[in-house]
Structure 1
Amino acid sequence: MYDLLIKNGIIIDPIEGKAKTNISLKDGKIAKLSQNDMAAKKEINAEGQYISPGFIDIHIHEDKLINNKIEFDVFKTIVLMGVTTAVGGNCGFSSQNLSNYFDELEKKKPLINYLSLSGYGSLREKAGVKDNYKDISGSKFKEIKRLLKEDLEAGSLGLSFGLEYTPGISTKEMIELSELIAEYPDRLVTAHYRFDSLRALESIAELIIISRETGQKIQISHLGSCTAYGQTTEALKMIEQANKAGVDLMADIYPYDAFSSYIGSAVFDPGCFKNWGINYQAVKILEGKYKGHKCTEEIFKYLRKNEVDTLVAVSAMDEEEIVEAIQNPLLMIASDGLLNNGQGHPRSAGTFPRVIAKYVREEKQISLKDAVKKMSYLPAKRIGLKQKGRIKAGYDADLTIFDFAKIKDNATFEEPTKAPTGINHVLIKGVEIVQQSKLTGKRSAEIIKL
């Protein structure tokens, strides 16, 4: 007797492709695939629906722990769009006490399976370095290495750099820290590049050098917001050539032509608008008293000075380049989900259904099998999750069931957390976490520590 039978659906395995078959689940695992009926305690009739491995989001910005409380904000929006596993601690930002964050999240019971990187910027701040533009060495750098080792022993997936946010870090520092990560098996280094737009290719070259010098696999974060200003074709060639030469470099991307960040960050230092070829009107203010207002020079300068943690989005990227990157086999899909009290970029609630609805069904830019591969198998392989990312006997029963004809992202800049339609069931370890685009209240996910 199986725990659950999912019958009459069409599975989309990232390797084998489509097949109409029944799936039985037992003890949180996929037990058997069969054309025959199988006895189970419970059934889901998936007639006319597709069943994919649960989506794996390799790049999110997790909900913060404030006074030992976590308000499930990002975690909630991403599970509603079919994500069952996600990686936080990106762009150099993570909890300054990773072990405590794991403990508190475990107490609250996470909505999704969760892994975390250690953020270089957060480690730097914890070591007492407040100036992001300052290079460091000596005792401060030794302290950062000690703190990083502490995180790695606590189960951190690896290290994330936010080079555009902490311009003071040198390539030499990055190499030394990446060498430390390489001492730990199956860990990952990710990097929010040093420069975007006009100097994007310099950024790619720097990461190639670091990976080549250290032998450490490196993931380029949200490539589109680095290169989709006329540099994507050349950047992809560089990444492909590096891989052919034995360098382990891949990237992720979200399916929008607007990026998002805090207005007080170094991303918006003088000269940025000229580099992006935009003016103030390209900036969308996503929260606070100016939300919905057209950005002006006066408002921009006021927020930069007085409300530095205001989230904004900038429409500056080229849509054709976004498509080109999404089609590349070395890229996977990630949301870069980031919310502040429910406000932010719609990618936090729309990324995965948007890829299927827009780029698979409507525009036919990629196949459904390739899209699912980029949203499950590739990130699973990248972070070493050997029992996730496929629909195969023995794999974890993390599954997303959706209506291909109806799936659609509904989140907008005005309503960034609006849930998608067409995602009818999301299961983690065989337990139904989402049903008909609503949370069931059940929890079965885990903190994944290396």
Structure 2
Amino acid sequence: MAFDTVIRHGTIVDGSGAARYAADLAIDEGRIVAIGDLGEERGTVEIDAAGLIVSPGFIDVHIHSEVALIEPATPNRYGSVRQGVTTQLLAPDGFGWTHLEGELFRQMWDYTRFATGDAKLGGPWPRAEDYLALFDGTTPANVVPEIPHLPIRLAAMGWDDRPATDAELDLMRELVREWLDAGAVAFNTGLDYQPTAFADTRELIELSKVVVEGGAIYAAHIRYNILGRDAAWRETFEISREAGIPVHISHENVDDISRPLLDEAAGTIDVTFESYMYPAGCTHLAMTLPTWAQAGGTDGVYRRLQDPEIRKQLTEYLQESLTVGEGRPGKLTIAANQSGSHIGRTVAEVAEEQGLPIGEAAMRMLIAEHPYALTIYHRRYGDDVARTIAKETFQHPAMMVASDGIYHGTFSHPRASGCFARAIRMGVRELQAVTLEEAIYKMSGFPATRFHVPHRGFIRTGYAADLVLFDEATIADGATWERPLESPTGIELVMVGGEPVVRRNVPTGALPGKVLRRQDATVSA
């Protein structure tokens, strides 16, 4: 019998956390059909994996990649796939563009431009299925729908900075159910972003009740800036208790604040979280402003910055928060903006060059550029503290790896191109925080199970042949703060549905990605 592909002599790490083992692997019609000693069996394509790990393709549950994946001209289109990421969840931070028309559609694209770049996908998409139709056969990786809170709230009540009425909640429930019918695996919200920053806890609980009835979970960028981490975690716990829903917290770490909260939740709250384990975040420059000043999206911010009194008030706020504000970043690096000026430089460097206080320099950038310029927010702690936090974070049983990667422009946060390879290089080899088997579980089997990703995340017969072949001794991230788009090393082959999509960092041109829906998990593999 001839299989489509046979991978021989590899060491299989199957995604479950179980010990590795030596075996051959056969693929037919995009699925794994045999594992073991295949002896004289042959494949139309034979791959020698001697000296290599064969693992499931990685699953990124928080990644801003959906536009880049289907836009061939995007410079970093394969930034995630080169790392071995074969499945990516849509709607991180609740971002999305469905159910919007006219000015609201334009405004949402404008608001999210910091994460997508100048997208040219068309639209509008009045239904969830209209948007998902963009992805089958047009992307090198699979995508999984989540329910995007931002456009749902925008469709129901615009940019209003108030709680929803009962009628508005009813409309939001309808749109949530539509996404569940389309196969969404989670309700995703971004509670420091607009307009969802003004969603009260009642709104989140009521929508979560619909979500859990549909078999999905709640995932959130919590109210870090509005409530602070402790209170924001506790709000998430309240949502879990009141709605009876499993919850997942985005881009977190284990430290003195979150550790006692995780201990408190053990056995009572079904909570998981993901981390990229870099000592810096990345979002838009307008996040430096207080929440009230961000209300109304891009147009609202522009209006306020034209008012001399408000501008003076906000400039003073920026001066304090960017220099002595508790918990504020040590430095802000501009990664992308409209003009292309100051890319790779910090706001402090630009302020010094211009002879301005940092608050005034930041304000001038907000006015002159799109206020949502992509910005890297570096933490105030040093490398030793960062490594200690990364080690404890990686060891926590509720943690999975996700990049929060952003894929446009020529400069970005290195997590977009390096997160998964870095997790193995640093977390396994250097810090020895976990075994390779445990690391692969946190990048494949665990997210697949938590988010109900069908027939992915494990090497099992009947499962999709989404695979990564890599050298355990040399896999490493190439992306640095200075060269953030560099590809990883040590990864020989990435396959999606049995088709090679990246071979030694070179894209093959294959586009076998599919939309994977929650309901597909009930179909026999």
Scaled by the length of structure 2, what TM-score is found? 0.78
Structure 2 residue ranges without an equivalent (≥5): 99-124, 292-316, 349-357, 519-525
The CA distance in 1 between the partners of 2:175 and 2:72, in whole Å, is 23
Which residue in 2 is equivalent to 1:308?
371
| Offset at residue 218 of structure 1 (A) | 1.2
Residue identity in the other structure for 1:173: E
Give 3-state SS (helix, strand or coil) of 2:93's partner: coil
Which residue in 2 is equivalent to 1:294?
346
Give 1:404's match in structure 2, choosing from 449, 467, 472: 472
| Offset at residue 429 of structure 1 (A) | 1.3
By percentage of residues, which structure has more strand? Answer: 1
Contact 1:262–1:311, Cα closer than 8 Å, also in 2: yes
The CA distance in 2 between the partners of 1:433 and 1:60, in whole Å, is 19
The CA distance in 1 between the partners of 2:75 and 2:134, in whole Å, is 16
Give 3-state SS (helix, strand or coil) of 1:31's partner: strand
The CA distance in 1 between the partners of 2:441 and 2:168, in whole Å, is 42
The CA distance in 2 between the partners of 1:65 and 1:76, in whole Å, is 8
After superposition, residues 423-438 of structure 1 pair within 5 angstroms as 423-438=491-506
Contact 1:127–1:143, Cα closer than 8 Å, also in 2: yes
Number of residue pairs aligned between Structure 1 and Structure 2: 438
Between 1:343-352 and 1:74-83, the stretch displaced more is: 74-83
The CA distance in 2 between the partners of 1:386 and 1:26, in whole Å, is 18
**Does 1:447 find its partner at 2:515?**
yes
Which residue in 2 is equivalent to 1:180?
210
Which residue in 2 is equivalent to 1:24?
26
The CA distance in 1 between the partners of 2:239 and 2:192, in whole Å, is 16
After superposition, residues 67-82 of structure 1 pair within 5 angstroms as 72=74, 76-82=78-84
Residue identity in the other structure for 1:347: R
Give 3-state SS (helix, strand or coil) of 2:4's partner: strand
Give 3-state SS (helix, strand or coil) of 1:9's partner: strand
Give 1:63's match in structure 2, choosing from 51, 63, 66: 66
Give 3-state SS (helix, strand or coil) of 1:177's partner: helix
Give 1:46's match in structure 2, choosing from 46, 49, 57: 49
**Does 1:190 find its partner at 2:203?**
no
The CA distance in 2 between the partners of 1:117 and 1:86, in whole Å, is 11
The CA distance in 2 between the partners of 1:266 and 1:177, in whole Å, is 29
Query: In structure 2, do the counterparts of structure 1 residues 47 and 276 end up closer, same or farther at CA, with 3 Å as the change threshold?
Result: farther
Residue identity in the other structure for 2:345: H
The CA distance in 1 between the partners of 2:397 and 2:174, in whole Å, is 37
Contact 1:64–1:95, Cα closer than 8 Å, also in 2: no
The CA distance in 1 between the partners of 2:231 and 2:391, in whole Å, is 22
Which residue in 2 is equivalent to 1:372?
440
Residue identity in the other structure for 2:478: N
Between 1:435-444 and 1:153-162, the stretch displaced more is: 153-162
By percentage of residues, which structure has more helix? Answer: 2
* Cα offsets for 1:299-350 (capped at 9, x unmatched): 3222334421211111116512232112101110001112333442111111
After superposition, residues 280-359 of structure 1 pair within 5 angstroms as 282-287=331-336, 288-296=340-348, 297=358, 298-306=360-368, 307-316=370-379, 318-319=385-386, 320-359=388-427
Which residue in 1 is equivalent to 2:458?
390
Query: In structure 2, do the counterparts of structure 1 residues 372 and 35 end up closer, same or farther at CA, with 3 Å as the change threshold?
Result: same
Give 1:200's match in structure 2, choosing from 210, 229, 245: 229
* Cα offsets for 1:390-440 (capped at 9, x unmatched): 222222211100011221111123433221111110111111111111111
User: What CA RMSD, in Å, does the superposition of the two structures yield over aligned residues?
Assistant: 2.4
Between 1:305-314 and 1:417-426, the stretch displaced more is: 305-314
Query: In structure 2, do the counterparts of structure 1 residues 300 and 84 end up closer, same or farther at CA, with 3 Å as the change threshold?
Result: same
**Does 1:12 find its partner at 2:75?**
no
* Cα offsets for 1:5-29 (capped at 9, x unmatched): 1111111123332111111112211
Give 1:156's match in structure 2, choosing from 184, 187, 193: 184
* Cα offsets for 1:56-114 (capped at 9, x unmatched): 11111133399x967556652111110111102011212323322211222x5221110
Residue identity in the other structure for 2:91: G
The CA distance in 2 between the partners of 1:144 and 1:340, in whole Å, is 31
* Cα offsets for 1:110-142 (capped at 9, x unmatched): 2111012122122222334224x4322243333
The CA distance in 1 between the partners of 2:67 and 2:378, in whole Å, is 27
Which residue in 1 is equivalent to 2:310?
none
Which residue in 2 is equivalent to 1:104?
134
After superposition, residues 216-255 of structure 1 pair within 5 angstroms as 216-224=245-253, 230-238=256-264, 242-245=265-268, 247-255=269-277
The CA distance in 2 between the partners of 1:294 and 1:138, in whole Å, is 45
Residue identity in the other structure for 1:111: P
The CA distance in 2 between the partners of 1:267 and 1:23, in whole Å, is 53
Query: In structure 2, do the counterparts of structure 1 residues 339 and 407 end up closer, same or farther at CA, with 3 Å as the change threshold?
Result: same
The CA distance in 1 between the partners of 2:71 and 2:461, in whole Å, is 38
Residue identity in the other structure for 1:64: V
Higher-Rg member (1/2): 2
The CA distance in 2 between the partners of 1:411 and 1:69, in whole Å, is 22
Give 3-state SS (helix, strand or coil) of 1:77's partner: coil
Contact 2:68–2:76, Cα closer than 8 Å, also in 1: no
| Offset at residue 292 of structure 1 (A) | 2.3
The CA distance in 1 between the partners of 2:18 and 2:515, in whole Å, is 29
Scaled by the length of structure 1, what TM-score is found? 0.90
* Cα offsets for 1:140-164 (capped at 9, x unmatched): 3333222222222233333111112
Between 1:427-436 and 1:149-158, the stretch displaced more is: 149-158
The CA distance in 2 between the partners of 1:351 and 1:16, in whole Å, is 23
* Cα offsets for 1:281-314 (capped at 9, x unmatched): 5111112312122313133222334421211111
> What is the percentage of aligned positions where both structures have the same residue?
28
Contact 1:264–1:305, Cα closer than 8 Å, also in 2: no
